[in-house]
Structure 1
Amino acid sequence: MSDDDAQHPAGSDIAAGGTSPPGTATLWHGRFATGPAEALSALSDSLPFDRRMFAEDIAASRAHTRMLCDVGLLSVDERDGIVEALAQVEAEIAGGSMAWAPTDEDIHTAVERRATELCAAAAKMHTGRSRNDQVVTDLRLWTRVAIDEVTGSIHGLACTLAERAREAHSADLRLPGYTHLQQAQPVGLAHHLAAHGWALLRDLQRLSEARRRTDVSPLGAGALAGSSLPLDPALTAAELGFGAVFENSLDAVSDRDFVADTLHGLAMTGVHLSRLGEEIVLWSSAEFGFVELDDAFATGSSMMPQKKNPDAAELARAKAGRLVGHLAGFLTTLKGLPLAYNKDLQEDKEPLFDAVDTVRLTVMALDGLLRTVGFNADAMSRGADDPFAAATDVAEWLVANGMPFRDAHALVAALVRDALDGPDPDTRANRLIELVSGHPDLGPSAAQRLVPPGAYRARTTPGSGGPDAVSVQLDRLDAALAAASG
């Protein structure tokens, strides 16, 4: 998109295309004796990627045209002819019959060129408008819709996690929780799945905030300083459904905070999807054996016939780097730009478009994977029911009986060390139970904490991983998801 194209008053030679034949002139051709060099045209050409904003560009042009008529800069006949031409252009692009011209450097040029071919008055619809406010209006319109669509997908994935968590809770499935990827304490599988659901809810909140900041109309800001014509930015904003109108024309055409906000929300979503994918990769390995992937969401090996690879989960893990890269790259583009519009801002669309597409596709794949994955209760419970995973509970038993926690921690740690020093690995768990049962400060009552599923059921604090607390949490998660869907 060109930067400071002039605002051409209705009826001027430039606005009407001057002496250049239709389809051969740029919106800014009058200042130059010759056209741009081929290399510059190739570098500047944004039509291959910004054409996906055609509906938004036509909607904004339609609103601008109606406003021009309302303020007396277009006749009713001119307005109706332009609106009709825009409708035909939209149908041609949507239907694939649009004849693109070599001079269509972007979607804005293409739409105006074709509309003017259909209705000569369409040359006036750029009156009082710059591509600077035009393009950012289109992008804000597109981003609003994109956020709504992608948050719908993320919400669906969070609901799938909540549904599978309910199933796991009903089946009383438990697994070892991990810190440092070492087995730590037992938790419900429902608790683990819900943790990912809460993370996705935060992503929805971030993207909702990004949408709110996107919902500001810049149309009427012109190239950078507004217009001497009697424009009414509030009229176009209302027709386009914007919640607010720009306050400063310089800021309006140069502001891409909403793009950075959206990229940040999508990058954080990608990070959360990556963490979920990483756990699926681990859990589906023979060493963990916690899950069995459905054939539709796994692939095989070209050499090893026994393999079942978690490609969907691995790709979810990989896409996070792409999303973080888009955010970092775009922030770097923005960091040194003077006010107001600079051609650098053309670099806002490709990372945003790709980030939206990437998150949408990744969410779709993980949603299908989670809906169909099978959980191996025996493999999970073996780790969850290991008496060593209940060592903290024995220390807490001592605390409940008056011993300071640090002393209790040291005492139980010593017993754990003695049990692990035993010669037979298969008897270490039983040896720990015997040591606890026989210790003068502990005894059989404390040893009961090591008998499964005692440690799992003992988690009763709010938000914890025991069954009673998880029941409350799942109700709260369902309520939060229901609120987010509104």
Structure 2
Amino acid sequence: MALWSGRFEEAAAPVTQEFGASLPVDKALYKQDIAGSIAHATMLAAQGIIGQEDADAICEGLKAIEADIDAGTFVFDIADEDIHMAIESELTRRIGAAGGRLHTGRSRNDQVATDTRLAAKALARDLMEANLGLRAALLDAAEEAGDTVLPGMTHLQHAQPVLLSHHLLAYVWMLGRDFTRLSAAFDAADLLPLGAAALAGTTYPLDRRMTAGLLGFAGVIENSLDAVSDRDFLLDLEYACSVMAVHLSRLSEEIVLWSSQEFGFITLSDAYSTGSSIMPQKKNPDFAELIRGKTGRVVGDLVQLLMTCKGLPLAYNKDMQEDKEGALDAAKTLAQCLAVMTGMVGTWTVNADRMRSVMHRGHLAATDVADYLAKHGMPFREAHAVVGHLVLEAEKQGCDISELPFETFKEASDLFGRDITKALDLDAIVAARTTEGGTAPVAVAEQLRRARARYLVDENAVKLLSPVIPMGVPAASAL
């Protein structure tokens, strides 16, 4: 019988039992629910709302239930509808009337919001740590790359030469922004809704600040209506997941290209590759492709929650039951992607000679040749046109612009001198870009130093986060 059945003369239609139940999803929050109930009971006793003996029985009973779920001996029943009812019903069966006093001064509305915020904090922290792991792997790869150069591209066409370390650090900075978004999502979840009750607060003299302290929240939500209806913190978490998944997808695309025979820039470890069931020669970048593919799933989770929240009147609505599945899925999917990507980056082999061998394709020196003319007094737009004609001539001769004879340059403009060879030297081109954030070795060395410093700041920030209740792993059951 449902806990709310007193108002009803008829039992719910059988078809609605499974349709309305959230237990298959929210049982993943059993540790958060139990921790929230223990904190609530402890506060109720401290405020004299329930007796200390009842509070002790409640807390001990909840701890025993948690141990049973951990051990896989707890049997979930779909009739309990959600994890909150499942635990409270079992608690009352075990300790009697004292279990019925646990719900004093709270509603499932503020209870589920509390559980979900605790879970969001745990998920955000875990993802922040995984983010740091991938950044460390990329930082190490950038440092190991040394003076390795490759063609920088726009429109997937050769553009200008860059250091491989510079290329990899671009992803480090992307992930740094992702970390900031996760940190903001953590902070957004770090406020206690418990005490808002159904929507208007309660007549019991609750000490919400005490409960917040017991659960590791930084504070309490100021408005009871907002407390039970807000899911912005989950939108923040899923948005952070979505943007990071997009960044991983971009890196995955480059891994797929770079590991192909056409590029040959890297060789993936066997541990992060697969073969073909029919073609014995194949070595496929399947896991990079899967990361690329799973990005749509993570972004879809965000869109689902946005649509769920759109147009909801205050305060709580049953639609909000659909808030947790997407968030749990997005976080789990992204965590797996981060772990796989970290392994791929940490075990790949960079084929530096292959990268250098293709540097004389695509006229990578063209921009510097135009700059040479501009520095000798020719307006840049005119210089651009002159070099364009030189590129066209090189194309007709089947060579790179750097391979044209000096006489061809001289015919194009009297401003060209013998020192034009310096503007055609690809290593010199790279070394000349010393502006802050540029690809010159001296600039990249400074960038790497700053990236590592930022990494250490973020690593320390994780240590300073308010406490979290780790996600549990519900054992298999008949449910």
TM-score w.r.t. length of structure 2: 0.93
User: Does structure 1 residue 34 correspond to structure 2 residue 6?
Assistant: no
Match of 2:447 in 1: 473
Moved more, 233-242 or 338-347: 233-242
- Within the candidate set 151, 160, 172, 1:197 is matched to 172
TM-align CA RMSD:
1.4
Give distance in 1, aligned partners of 2:88 and 2:181. Answer: 36
- Given that 1:437 and 1:444 are in contact with CA atoms closer than 8 Å, whether structure 2 keeps it comes out as no
Aligned residue identity for 1:375: V
Match of 2:46 in 1: 70
| Secondary structure of 1:341's aligned partner | coil
Give distance in 2, aligned partners of 1:178 and 1:56. Answer: 48
Aligned residue identity for 1:160: A
Superposed, which structure 2 residues align to 1:413-428 within 5 Å? 413-422=388-397, 425-426=398-399
Give distance in 1, aligned partners of 2:46 and 2:95. Answer: 19
**CA deviation vs aligned residue, 1:280-318 (integer Å, no higher than 9, x gap):** 001111111111111110111111111111011111111
- Within the candidate set 394, 399, 412, 2:369 is matched to 394
Match of 1:130 in 2: 107
- Within the candidate set 240, 246, 250, 2:225 is matched to 250
Match of 1:18 in 2: none
Match of 1:110 in 2: 86
Give distance in 2, aligned partners of 1:432 and 1:244. Answer: 72
Give distance in 1, aligned partners of 2:220 and 2:406. Answer: 70
- Within the candidate set 13, 17, 20, 1:44 is matched to 20
Flag the 1:261–1:151 CA change in 2: closer, same or farther, 3 A: same
Match of 1:483 in 2: 457
**CA deviation vs aligned residue, 1:318-370 (integer Å, no higher than 9, x gap):** 11111111111110111110000000000101100000000000010011011
Give distance in 2, aligned partners of 1:74 and 1:292. Answer: 65
- Given that 2:391 and 2:401 are in contact with CA atoms closer than 8 Å, whether structure 1 keeps it comes out as no
The Cα of 1:387 is off from its aligned counterpart by 7.7
- Within the candidate set 159, 174, 197, 1:184 is matched to 159
Flag the 1:434–1:480 CA change in 2: closer, same or farther, 3 A: farther
Give distance in 2, aligned partners of 1:455 and 1:79. Answer: 73
Give distance in 2, aligned partners of 1:119 and 1:432. Answer: 93
- Within the candidate set 54, 73, 76, 1:97 is matched to 73
| Secondary structure of 1:103's aligned partner | helix
Flag the 1:393–1:69 CA change in 2: closer, same or farther, 3 A: same
Superposed, which structure 2 residues align to 1:163-178 within 5 Å? 163-169=140-146, 172-178=147-153
Give distance in 2, aligned partners of 1:133 and 1:215. Answer: 14
- Given that 2:372 and 2:420 are in contact with CA atoms closer than 8 Å, whether structure 1 keeps it comes out as yes
- Given that 2:158 and 2:362 are in contact with CA atoms closer than 8 Å, whether structure 1 keeps it comes out as no
Aligned residue identity for 1:50: D
Moved more, 113-122 or 331-340: 113-122
- Given that 1:188 and 1:456 are in contact with CA atoms closer than 8 Å, whether structure 2 keeps it comes out as yes
* Percent identity for Structure 1 against Structure 2: 47
Match of 1:310 in 2: 285
Flag the 1:174–1:159 CA change in 2: closer, same or farther, 3 A: same
The Cα of 1:235 is off from its aligned counterpart by 1.4
- Within the candidate set 221, 226, 231, 2:201 is matched to 226
**CA deviation vs aligned residue, 1:399-439 (integer Å, no higher than 9, x gap):** 222222112211111111112122xx257652266523664
Superposed, which structure 2 residues align to 1:343-382 within 5 Å? 343-382=318-357
Give distance in 1, aligned partners of 2:49 and 2:419. Answer: 89
Match of 2:236 in 1: 261
Give distance in 1, aligned partners of 2:423 and 2:362. Answer: 8
Give distance in 1, aligned partners of 2:365 and 2:45. Answer: 76
Aligned residue identity for 2:43: M
- Within the candidate set 215, 221, 228, 1:240 is matched to 215
Match of 1:140 in 2: 117
- Within the candidate set 155, 158, 165, 2:135 is matched to 158
Give distance in 2, aligned partners of 1:457 and 1:419. Answer: 25
Query: How many correspondences in the alignment?
Result: 458
Unaligned runs of 5+ in 1: 1-24
**CA deviation vs aligned residue, 1:258-293 (integer Å, no higher than 9, x gap):** 011100000000000000000000111111111111
User: Does structure 1 residue 461 correspond to structure 2 residue 435?
Assistant: yes
- Given that 1:437 and 1:445 are in contact with CA atoms closer than 8 Å, whether structure 2 keeps it comes out as no
- Given that 2:151 and 2:161 are in contact with CA atoms closer than 8 Å, whether structure 1 keeps it comes out as yes
Unaligned runs of 5+ in 2: 461-479
| Secondary structure of 2:150's aligned partner | strand
| Structure having greater relative contact order (Cα 8 Å, sep ≥ 6) | 2
| Secondary structure of 2:205's aligned partner | coil
Structure 1 stretches of 4+ with a deviation exceeding 4 A read: 426-429
The Cα of 1:180 is off from its aligned counterpart by 0.4
